[in-house]
Amino acid sequence: MILPSKPGVVLSKLFDPISLRSITVPNRIWMSPMCTYSAAAEGPLTGLPTDWHLTHLASRAAGGAGLIMVEATAVRADGRISPWDLGLWNTEQQNAFMRITQAISALGAVPAIQLAHAGRKASTDRPWLTGRHLSSQQGGWQTVGPSALPYDDAPAPHELTTAEIKGLVDDFARAAERALAAGFKAVEIHGAHGYLINSFLSHHTNLRIDEYGGSFENRIRFALEITKAVREVWSADLPLLFRVSATDWLTENAEDPREGWTSEDTVRLASILADHGVDLIDTSTGGNVPDADIPTGLGYQVEFADAVKNKAKVPAAAVGLIVHPEQADEVLAQGRADVIFMGRQLLRDPYWPRRAATLLGLEARWPVQYGYAVAHHHSGKPVASDVTAAEPALIGS
């Protein structure tokens, strides 16, 4: 995807390919799953990706990101964050995703999808409207969680029974089967940001006294059962990722007397997840405690990916205000993470990866449909196409 701009130039670590199982991703700049709340909320098209999703995702693939992660996609209807979320609980949704995976693949990127259940944070309005809990009269539904503990000012969720937990494990497995049939080459289990799996992990939100609560081993049981069930139906040749909130930002705050999930817990969990077939930990933080004090800043979550990679010895992705090419490249060069998941920066600039290549002294290669215009603009004359049967139509700038 990227060529050296001058003979002898050493390729940036950011543009090194990386292999997970049988999949080789062309670079280390990956698109984070970011909800857009743009699917139909009811009727036969509920949860199906639309032209919006196709354009949104394919444009980032054209922009040079190596892996494109589809936003949080609910494994069942009550697992949606909002009524306008994507879903993968039926065949119609599965079939609609095929053009998404085909478009991403045709542009040289790897299509991936995040499977999720929003738990007690489900049934909310679009964030650019009120973002608040929707009642059944407003198109919402009863939320669920490990305990009847509400999130912020939302109503208390239904406390899941053991039988219901087992059903949810199966829901994740069935969604993974549909993802495979739809053509995705990587799948991620969403265990972060206060959604259902994350709320089981943290003893701040998991008040159960059965086999799914109390001890560390019990609190991670739900996550491990889902991972095992997904790995069993997901192709052995394809990678499985797990997104975790590495901390609730409680225990690390000396001024907050509350305790929650910690970086040490995450390192411990990462090793166990790897033993259960997870190939990479997507390391984010927060989202489980609405009033937690989170000290944000450039690269503020990199330390948690660093801990997973270098303490647990498990491949890790870094996220969180990584906005400059030199900054991203340094994280990888220092061995603090294996890949960079980018979110808002790719919303602002879909072509950030190609611009980053230029800034790092490399030569970006553009889709051939763009390449003529790019080359003509810079040199005043067209540049010959450099295309092989093994890659999409790209052209040097």
The values of phi and psi at residue 325, to 5°, are -55, -45
The span from the CA of 11 to the CA of 68, in Å, is 22
Quick one: average pLDDT of 148-156? Answer: 96
Please tell me whether residue 282 adopts helix, strand or coil conformation.
Answer: strand
Averaged confidence pLDDT in the chain: 91
> DSSP string of 54-117?
HHHHHHHHHTT-SEEEEEEEESSGGG-SSTTSEE-SSHHHHHHHHHHHHHHHHTT-EEEEEEE-
Sheet with 394-396, side-by-side order of all strands: 2-4, 362-367, 394-396
Quick one: average pLDDT of 300-326? Answer: 96
| Confidence class for position 377, pLDDT limits 50, 70, 90 | low
The span from the CA of 236 to the CA of 239, in Å, is 8
Q: Contact, 331 vs 296, CB < 8 A? A: no
Q: Contact, 229 vs 170, CB < 8 A? A: yes
Quick one: average pLDDT of 365-386? Answer: 57
The span from the CA of 192 to the CA of 116, in Å, is 9
**Which token pair is 9?**
């130039």
Please tell me whether residue 155 adopts helix, strand or coil conformation.
Answer: coil
Q: What is the pLDDT of residues 56-69, one digit of tens each?
A: 999 999 999 999 99
pLDDT value of residue 363:
79
Distances (CA, A) of 328 to 12, 28, 285, 342, 359: 10, 9, 18, 10, 12
The span from the CA of 349 to the CA of 304, in Å, is 26
> DSSP string of 309-350?
HHTS---EEE-SS--SHHHHHHHHHTTS-SEEEE-HHHHH-T
| Beta bridge partner(s), residue 116 | 74
The span from the CA of 89 to the CA of 93, in Å, is 7
| Confidence class for position 373, pLDDT limits 50, 70, 90 | low
| Confidence class for position 371, pLDDT limits 50, 70, 90 | low
Count the neighbouring beta carbons within 10 Å of the beta carbon of residue 89: 21
Active-site entry in 37, 151, 195, 212: 195
| Confidence class for position 135, pLDDT limits 50, 70, 90 | very high
Written as one letter, the residue type at 264 is: E
| Confidence class for position 365, pLDDT limits 50, 70, 90 | confident
CA atoms within 13 A on the CB side of 133: 19
Active site residue 370: no
- Secondary element (H or E) of residue 196: helix 196-201
Q: Contact, 30 vs 69, CB < 8 A? A: yes
pLDDT value of residue 237:
98
Quick one: average pLDDT of 235-240? Answer: 98
pLDDT value of residue 369:
76
Q: What is the pLDDT of residues 10-50, one digit of tens each?
A: 458 999 999 999 999 999 999 999 999 999 999 999 999 99
Q: Contact, 246 vs 266, CB < 8 A? A: yes
**Which token pair is 126?**
């679009």
Q: Contact, 97 vs 113, CB < 8 A? A: yes
The span from the CA of 145 to the CA of 16, in Å, is 41
The values of phi and psi at residue 309, to 5°, are -65, -45
